[in-house]
Amino acid sequence: MRIVVVEDDYHQRDWLAGELSKAFSADVEPLNSFGAFHRRFKEFEQNPPDYFVVDVMLVSDQLSEENDDSNAYDDDEEQVDDVEDLRQGLIAVKMIGDSASLRRVPATLYTVLTRQDLPDGIVFMPKQEDISALAAEIRRRLGISK
C-alpha cells in the first residue's frame, strides 16, 4: 500500500508518516510543500498511489539557495491591506479530483482549521492527538477491515 502525505511542517510530517506506516504497514511518501506535490503530480498520474493525506496550509516550496530569485521582487506599500489565500492544499485536492487517472484515489484534507475557515462543501478531517480517526477514515474509504 502506498500513501502520499503532503505536509510542510517537519514535525507533523515526520510523526504522521511514522504513524501511518505503522498502522498500515504502508510505504509512506512525505512531501514537504505544494511545489513538491506539483512536481510529482505527473508521476502520480502514471502510477497512482492508494491514498493522499493533504494539509490545507502549505508553503509553495521549501527554500533553496540554488533556486532563490527573491531579489528580483520589488516591494510596494499596498500590501498591508492584501489578504492572500494560503490554502494551497485545497488546490492540490482539486487537482487530484480533476485528474482522470487520480480521481478515484481517495484524498483526505487533514487540518487544524475549522469549518468557518474553509469554503462550503469541503470535506476535511481535523488533526487530533492520534491518528485513530484518520486511520478509520482510510480503512473506510479503501474498504479495508481493521
Partner 1 sequence: MMQPHDTTANYIEKLIEFAAGLSNLADLRKILDRAAEIASPTDACIIWDEVPRAADVSLCTAHLYALAQWCRDDEHWLTMEVPVGNSLTGEAIMGNSPWLSTPDLHLDGRTYKKDPWLSRFGPGLSIPVRLESRSNGEVVEHRGAVNFYRFKGQQPFSPVEADVLAHIGRLIPHLYRSLRDRVAFDLLMCLDRRLDEASRAEPLLHEAKLIADKLRCEEVSIFLGRPGDETFHLRATTIPDKSDLFGKVGYKLTDPGIVPWLLNGREASIRLLDVRKLTKSSSDFSQYYAAHVAHRYPHLRWSEWKGAAEKPISCMAALITDGRHTLGVIQCSRAAAEPYYFGGRELEMLELAADRIGRHEGESQRDRDMQQEVGSWNALSRILVELSNMVTQESADAIVAESLFLNENRESVSRRTLEIFVGSVPGAERATAYWRDPAASNSGSLANLWLKALAPGVKSAVVKSSESPEPQVDALVAEISCGAPLGVLVIHLNSNADVPPHSQTLAEILGRQLGLYHHLYRQQDKLRKQLLREVRTFADLRHQIKSPILMAYRYLCAMYNSFSDAESRRKLGAIRGLTSKSLGVAGCVGLYADLAEGKPIAPHLAPMSADSILTTVVESAIDHEMICRDDTDILFSVDHGSFKALNRIYVRINRELFMQCMTNLLDNAAKYSFPKTTVRIRATLADGFVVVSVTNRGVSLSLKGAGMCWNRGWRGQYVREKMKSSGHGIGLWLVHEIMKAHDGRAKAIPTQDKETEFQLYFPKMDISRG
Q: Which residues bind partner 1 (CB under 8 A)?
A: 10-11, 14, 34, 57-65, 68-71, 73-77, 79-82, 84, 86, 88
Which residue's CB is nearer to partner 1, number 63 or number 100?
63
Work out how close the CB of 129 gets to partner 1 at its nearest, in angstroms, rounded to a whole number.
14
Q: Which of 31, 23, 21, 84 lies closest to 62 in space, CA to CA? A: 31
Work out how close the CB of 54 gets to partner 1 at its nearest, in angstroms, rounded to a whole number.
15
CA dihedral 50, 111, 122, 38 (to 10 degrees): -50
Work out how close the CB of 36 gets to partner 1 at its nearest, in angstroms, rounded to a whole number.
14
Contact 8, 58 (CB under 8 A): yes
Which residue's CB is nearer to partner 1, number 71 or number 145?
71
d(C-alpha 64, C-alpha 22), whole Å: 31
